[in-house]
C-alpha cells in the first residue's frame, strides 16, 4: 500500500442541488505534504468533510491508508487527525480538558493522554494557557488547540482545512514549523489553503480546485517550472527614472524603483551588467507577486 489517500470518482450533490464535487480522482502518497488550493466555494471543505466522514458523499470511493471509509469506519477514523475550518469544541471546557477528552474518544489511557497533552500543548505553545476555557481564547490560540487536539491519537495523516486562515504571522510561522517537523517525521499532511505562499513553502504536491473539479494535480516543482518569466521590483539608492535597459521589459514605478520582467531563459546577469555599467546601485530586489498565484490566476481564468 503506497497511498495515504485514494479518491475515485468522488461526487457530492447537496440537498440544495448544488454539485459541490463533480467527479474527483486523487491519490496522495504516504509521507506526502499535499495542498488543495482553490477559491471560496471550490469544494475543498466538502472534500475534507467527506474524508473525515463528517459529510456523506453522493458517490465514489474513498480509501484512507487502504481502508474504505464506507466499509471500515473505525480504522479510517483512527488514521485521520482532522483540523476543521470551523471551531468545534465546547466553549466551557479548558484547553487541557479538550485535548484529554479527545484522547478518551480514541480509547487512550488517561496517563498516556496526560503525557501527550503536555507534549503537544508545549509544541503549540499552549501549555501556559492550559487551564483557560475555550471561550476566552483568541482565534490563533483556538486554531492551535484544534491542531493539538487532532494529534492526540497520533494519526498517520493530518488533514487541515485552512489551518492558518486569520492567524497572525507569528502563529502562522509556529504552525508551519510544526507541520514541517511532523511531515519530516513521516506524517502525511493534507491541507487546504487560500495562501499561495503557504502551498509553495510547505507542500510537495498541489491540487487546484475550481467548481468542484480538480483542474490541476501536480508537484510544486513541475508547476513552478511552467513559469516562463518573473517580474521583479528593484530599488536603487539613486534616481533611476532616466535609466536605459536593453532586452528587458521594464517600467519605472517611482523615481528609484523599477519593475523588470525577466525571462527565465535570459536570466538576470545581463540586467545587472547593464545596471553596473551605468553606476546604478541596487539596494533591494523582490518578486512582484507570488509565482504560484500568477499561474493559478491563469489556470482558473481559462
Residue ranges that bind ligand ADP, judged by CB under 6 A:
14, 16, 18, 20, 38, 40-46
Q: Which is nearer to ligand ADP, 45 or 164 (CB)?
A: 45
Chain residue whose CB lies nearest Mg ion: 45
Q: Which is nearer to ligand ADP, 34 or 120 (CB)?
A: 34
Listed ranges 39-47, 68-76, 211-219, 259-267: which one lies at the site for Mg ion (CB under 5 A): 39-47
> Smallest gap, in angstroms, from Cβ of residue 50 to ligand ADP?
10
> Smallest gap, in angstroms, from Cβ of residue 25 to ligand ADP?
17
Residue 40 contact partner, candidates Mg ion, ligand ADP, none, CB within 5 to 8 A by sort of partner: ligand ADP
Q: Which is nearer to Mg ion, 43 or 123 (CB)?
A: 43
Q: Which is nearer to ligand ADP, 41 or 66 (CB)?
A: 41
Residue 218 · residue 164 · CB < 8 Å: no
- DSSP per residue, the chain: --EEEEEEEEEEE-TTS-EEEEEEEEEEETT-EEEEE--TTSSHHHHHHHHTTSS--SEEEEEETTEETTT-HHHHHHHEEEE-SS--S-TTSBHHHHHHHHHHHTT--HHHHHHHHHHHHHHTT-GGGTTSBGGG--HHHHHHHHHHHHHTT--SEEEEESTTTT--HHHHHHHHHHHHHHHHTT-EEEEEES-HHHHHHH-SEEEEEETTEEEEEEEHHHHHHT--EEEEEEEESS--TT---SSSEEEEEETTEEEEEEETTT-SHHHHHHHHHTT--EEEEEESS-HHHHHHHHHHT-
> Smallest gap, in angstroms, from Cβ of residue 45 to Mg ion?
3
Residue 41 contact partner, candidates Mg ion, ligand ADP, none, CB within 5 to 8 A by sort of partner: ligand ADP
Residues in the chain: 302
Residues 64-93 interacting with Mg ion (rule: CB under 5 A): 85
> Smallest gap, in angstroms, from Cβ of residue 148 to ligand ADP?
23
Residue 46 contact partner, candidates ligand ADP, Mg ion, none, CB within 5 to 8 A by sort of partner: ligand ADP
Pick from 45, 94, 102, 164 the residue near Mg ion by CB under 5 A.
Answer: 45
164 binds Mg ion (CB under 5 A): no
Q: Which is nearer to ligand ADP, 46 or 94 (CB)?
A: 46
Site residues, Mg ion (CB under 5 A): 44-45, 85
Amino acid at each position: 500500500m503506497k497511498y495515504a489517500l485514494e479518491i475515485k470518482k468522488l461526487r457530492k450533490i447537496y440537498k440544495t442541488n448544488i454539485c459541490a464535487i463533480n467527479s474527483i480522482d486523487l491519490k496522495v502518497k504516504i509521507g506526502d505534504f499535499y495542498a488543495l488550493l482553490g477559491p471560496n466555494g471550490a469544494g475543498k471543505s466538502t472534500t475534507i468533510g467527506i474524508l473525515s466522514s463528517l459529510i456523506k458523499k453522493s458517490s465514489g470511493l474513498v480509501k484512507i491508508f487502504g481502508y474504505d471509509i464506507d466499509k471500515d469506519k473505525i480504522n479510517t477514523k483512527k488514521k485521520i487527525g482532522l483540523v476543521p475550518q470551523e471551531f468545534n469544541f465546547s466553549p466551557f471546557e479548558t484547553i487541557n480538558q479538550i485535548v484529554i477528552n479527545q484522547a478518551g474518544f480514541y480509547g487512550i489511557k488517561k496517563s498516556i493522554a496526560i503525557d501527550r497533552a503536555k507534549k503537544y500543548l508545549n509544541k503549540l505553545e499552549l501549555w501556559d494557557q492550559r487551564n483557560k476555557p475555550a471561550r476566552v481564547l483568541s482565534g490563533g490560540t483556538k486554531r492551535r488547540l484544534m491542531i493539538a487536539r487532532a494529534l492526540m491519537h497520533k494519526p498517520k495523516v493530518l488533514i487541515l482545512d485552512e489551518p492558518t486562515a486569520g492567524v497572525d504571522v507569528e502563529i502562522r510561522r509556529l504552525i508551519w514549523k510544526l507541520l514541517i517537523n511532523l511531515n519530516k517525521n513521516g506524517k502525511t499532511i493534507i491541507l487546504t489553503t487560500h495562501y499561495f505562499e503557504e502551498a509553495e513553502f510547505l507542500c510537495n504536491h498541489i491540487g487546484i480546485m475550481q467548481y468542484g473539479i480538480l483542474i490541476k494535480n501536480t508537484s510544486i516543482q513541475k508547476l513552478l517550472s511552467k513559469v516562463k518569466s518573473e517580474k521583479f521590483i528593484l530599488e536603487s539608492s539613486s534616481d533611476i527614472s532616466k535609466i536605459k535597459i536593453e532586452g528587458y521589459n521594464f517600467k519605472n514605478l517611482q523615481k528609484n524603483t523599477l519593475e523588470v520582467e525577466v525571462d527565465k531563459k535570459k536570466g538576470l546577469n545581463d540586467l545587472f551588467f547593464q545596471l553596473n555599467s551605468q553606476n546604478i546601485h541596487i539596494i533591494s530586489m523582490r518578486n512582484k507577486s507570488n509565482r504560484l498565484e500568477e499561474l493559478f490566476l491563469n489556470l482558473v481564468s481559462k
